[in-house]
Amino acid sequence: MNAARNAILGVVATIAGIVFTIFLTQTILAGIISKMDWFVENGYLGYLALFVVFIIMALFLIPASFSKFVCGHLFGFIPGMIFAWIASMIAALFPHAIARKWLKPWATRIIENRPLMADIEQAIVNDGWKTVAYTRISLVLPYSLLNYVFGATSVKTVDLIKGNTLMIVPAAIYAWWGSQARVISEEGFSAQGDGYLWIMGFSLIFTVWIIHHLRKITLRHISAKSEY
């Protein structure tokens, strides 16, 4: 019963976060988002500045879902997905290095106080980079917190880099919705026609399915490896 409830809560929370972010980009944050075109208009300087923003957000435990969403909004789906994927992979290395060198006691307490994190630690002992990869495909497990937690585990940096490549999955999901938020803000939802409504309906159903399915795969792997 608890597992089913947690699964439902995870899906609902993620979908609610996406919907709320779209709402913010159309209302309260519309002015700020429009100014963020600076990153696109200034070429390599803008890309470098946005990359630094990714690092800062990772260091301060700010959910990466928003930055990936913004990348889709700024660059469009495919370019936004690629930028968010590469930037989030590299940005994750900074809190990991800091936790390993200076914050290991703090990160260790997080593991001790959270059974799921303890299971992840044990799974890493048994399966290294594959466990990192499984945690990275999940849209429910907290990317920012995991970066620090991995610093307190035995995972090697090279295994962390290999596992981080699977971040392309959440990058694709959030960049897609970010790109659609821009379409809606520029042209309006009603102007898209019935075909667009079908696309959005399918996208929503697929997002719900992928969140639930990947969460199940991730937790199955972690539970199996932690039982060794």
Label residue 90 by pLDDT band (50, 70, 90).
very high
SS3 141: coil
Say whether pTM exceeds 0.75: yes
The three-state secondary structure class of 153 is coil
The confidence score (pLDDT) of residue 228 equals 38
User: Is residue 209 left, alpha or beta, with left meaning phi > 0 and alpha meaning psi from -120 to 50?
Assistant: alpha
| CB distance 225 to 122 below 8 Å | yes
Q: How far apart are the first and last CA of the chain?
A: 25
Residue 194 burial by Cβ neighbours in a 10 Å radius (0-12, 13-18, 19+): exposed
Task: Specify the pLDDT at position 49.
Answer: 96
pLDDT per position as a tens digit, 7-30: 677 678 778 888 888 788 777 777
Q: Would you state the torsion angle of the CA atoms of residues 157, 160, 162, 164, taken in this order, to the nearest 10 degrees?
A: -140
pLDDT band at residue 189 under the 50/70/90 scheme: low
